[in-house]
Structure 1
Amino acid sequence: MKVLVPVKRVLDYNLKVRVKPDGSGVDLSNLKMSINPFCEIAVEEAVRMKEGGGGHTKDSATEIVAVSIGPDQSQETLRNALAIGADRGILVKADGEIEPLAVAKILKGVIDAEKPDLVILGKQAIDDDNNATAQMLAALLDWPQATFASKIVLAGSKATVTREVDGGLQTLDVDLPAIISTDLRLNEPRYASLPNIMKAKKKPIDVKAPADYGVDTAPRLKTIKTTEPGKRQAGIKVKTTAELVGKLKEAGVI
């Protein structure tokens, strides 16, 4: 079984986002970039499939292909995925912000060429929080999808996916090939060991371009202005329930 895992290069989640003084966007200069946490969970799950961990049978994944769409620096993100356990990488070199539909179209081209049995990707990226690529990709491919997966069990040509929904947990059976997006509680990614980091430097990364898949990445949306959230106003203390009700009426809450 071949598993394809898209990964994205994003600002490290430990850092505070800064808005450019002119409001034209987010200032990423001289800041640490990392693999998107949800993508890292997807890579970890694919590796567990190959190793026979996490309830999977051993060798349920025989090859793991990591794919990243972005600038040259995205090779670092791919090396991170390779150090966790992916077998090889594909970089689709593209500068600027690539919108979810363009990402889905590029991934469809990669999938048409690679013909994987399963695609696992993070449910969203922590920079734009669109949560749209997996759903768009499933629609373009006309494949079954299971989003927000907290547990995946493979059995033959099917995957049983437990997904988190507002009312609790939902369990789905999907036929392979399928698209699965990962939630936080699916697993806890491992730390890449030094030997695996060194091995990852020798693993192959193919470099492609969006044009190789016939995709135009020109943005459909235009950012008018970017601003930081307004500062939260301090609250007030009340002594009685009647005073509380009065303040809520003044605020128009009741």
Structure 2
Amino acid sequence: MDLGLQGRRALVCASTGGLGEAVVRALAAEGAHVLVSGRRRDRARAIADELNEAGPGNATAVECDLSEADGPRRLHEAAVNKLGGVDVLVLNGPGPKPSSADAASWPDAERALEVLVRPHLELIQATLPGMRERRWGRILAVGSSGVVAPLPNLAMSNLGRSALAGYLKTLASEVAADGVTVNMLLPGRIATDRVAQLDAAAADREGRTQEEVSAESRATIPAQRYGDPEEFGSVAAFLCSSPASYVNGTAVRCDGGLVRSL
């Protein structure tokens, strides 16, 4: 299938590792011009160089921390300067530390919104006018299965990601007639550093080994394994594609069947 991404300009947030890196690699493989971004400048450049060696040389890199006050503005400016604009915006970033709901404070909630909502909202506001003018655009947010089934001990992540999901669903109906789609992709247990950190934190709390925690977690997944980041990236690339133009305002799960609801 031709995904129609050849020459499309894609900004992928937090793409120096984990799910973001998987997405930027999948888009580059489809011929998109990609901007690799993240706080690790050397890692961003290394990924861009690798993509250019393997492909037509359409990858560039930028160092950016979206948690800084002017981070979204600087990242958008870099995308305009390096790509000439943004056709595909992939929202992604680290989540808050594990925490229970009863121990959470309002400052904790504010920090969660500052990390998971503010930078994404500002990037959308910056990139959306161009997409609407060109009558083609893709906005995809990397979320969490906690959006549809809140996860234990991740109260602030559940709060922030659900707030973003509500905003994106509202936005999707407002821009659909302009050729812009807005969706979320919800990972389950994908084999990334983030999941390894969560397993390690659970092991510390429970006085068990990380492998014991991981094995127990895998047993709850019908697929009986953690997902491969490449599998996640492939689904993301499709949702950003031209053939996916009628997929809008939805949350797609890539979780091996972990969430039992429809």
TM-score by length of 2: 0.37
Larger C-alpha radius of gyration, 1 or 2? 1
| Larger helix proportion of the pair | 2
TM-score by length of 1: 0.38
Higher relative CO (CA 8 A, sep ≥ 6), structure 1 or 2? 1
| Larger strand proportion of the pair | 1
